[in-house]
Amino acid sequence: MLLGGDIGESTEGTQLEFSIRDIDLDQHTAVLSKLNVWLNHNGKAFAQGVQLRKRKRIIPKWKIIEASELVPKIAAQTTGLKTLDPMKAIPHDDLVNLLKLCWEWRQDPNLVMQFGNVEAEIEFLASLVKADGWLKGDVSVIDYAFVLTSIDYEIDKKNMLQHLDLGLYLMRKRQQQLEEVEIADWTTTDVFFMNHISTCFAENKRKKQQVGWKIRKSLLNVVNGKVPPCRLDWQNVYTVYTPFMLTKYKHWVAVMIDLVLCEIKVYDSKVSLIPDDIIKEELAPLSITLPNLLNTMDFYEEGVYANNCSRDWWCPWPIERVDVPQESSEGDCGMFVLKYIELFSAQLPLATCTAHNMPFFRLKLAAEITRGDAYFP
């Protein structure tokens, strides 16, 4: 057990001591238990009572950056993701930093983490570390410059950046630092991608042919590798992963777009919730819009793709739900989505992607978000 202490000040000015003497940092359940006491029991109610009376205090964290700003790992460290250990222990120093941040939040719920142009209040970590917490993210976007990168991405500023988006960003960032990415196996979108697909489909649903389809600039920018941060041009990858919210069921699934076979695979952590025909109906906008989007860009006419698809790629792409490990409790679907994408993209088995391990993965993601980097192999 790692021991330590620090002195802080409560909102009333009383000196309080930050201590982890009673926490076994080698037991993630003990760390999560303490975090939930600080964040979920009284902290949220306390925060709601004081935030109207006191000004927020900013805790500057890391900034979301582009791949061109990253410092690549040296050759000896560049082993790729195939040696990634999903269950590798979280460094004690990172756990202490996370614990101290949450303890400070408990003392002053008006504290706000700031990720460059993005803010996160206490509920952001509270819902992440809670056993059944919904991964949606109470991160208010103040300035979309980091997403827009001077390009019209057509995002409603009332939207919230998700836990999922930060998790996916950290995966892409790690990929850029670890691998040769001129031609890579994969990339991801952000959570806004499927919203733009649905809007584009709705705008063109009366058109019976691909000729004349109006394609949103936001989608062209994704395929061309202009957004989101640390993304890759789709011409340089074989698969694209994206999260998809089934709003009616309040359920996240992971979607894999196979650009070689021209098909869509769905990784669903709760197949008993939604029948196959409903899944296909919900993803029909993607199945139909994708070929029209790629046709507009002459995607299969140039670059690395001498199309290997055995059928006419410009027809709606088939959708298949793949057998994957299942969740056993409500609220874990978002965490399952992140782990499906992380493990599949690293070409690792899903043996560790179990309901039993989700609390550890929640804690790990909280530590990664706090430190600003996904853990390396």
Question: What pLDDT, in 10s, does the model give residues 75-130?
Answer: 445 456 778 899 999 999 999 999 999 998 888 878 888 887 777 888 888 889 99
Note the pLDDT of residue 83.
83
The closest of 186, 192, 260, 252 to 222, measured between CA atoms, is 192
What six digits make up the tokens of 98?
């996370």
Residues of the chain with pLDDT under 70: 1-16, 41-55, 73-80, 136-161, 179-183, 207-211, 302-311
pTM (2 d.p.): 0.86
Q: What is the pLDDT of residue 308?
A: 59
- Tell me the backbone φ, ψ of residue 48, rounded to 5 degrees: -65, -25
Strand 239-246 relative to strand 251-258, pairing: antiparallel
Q: Which helix (H) or strand (E) holds 159?
A: none
Q: What is the pLDDT of residue 179?
A: 64
* Interacting residues of 179 by C-beta distance below 8 A, sequence separation 6+: 78, 80, 81
List, for residues 277-333, the tens digit of each pLDDT value. 999 999 999 999 999 999 888 888 765 555 556 667 778 999 999 999 999 988 899
Confidence at residue 233, expressed as pLDDT on a 0 to 100 scale: 93
* Homologous superfamily in CATH for domain 5-371: Adenoviral Proteinase; Chain A (3.40.395.10)
Residue 99 pLDDT? 95
**Do strands 263-267 and 251-258 pair parallel, antiparallel, or not at all (unpaired)?**
antiparallel
Q: What is residue 181's predicted lDDT score, i.e. its pLDDT?
A: 53
- Say if residue 49 is exposed, middle or buried (CB neighbours under 10 Å; 0-12, 13-18, 19+): exposed
pLDDT for position 143: 35
Which of 192, 307, 201 minimizes the C-alpha distance to 245?
192
What gap in Å lies between CA 324 and CA 336, rounded to an integer? 10
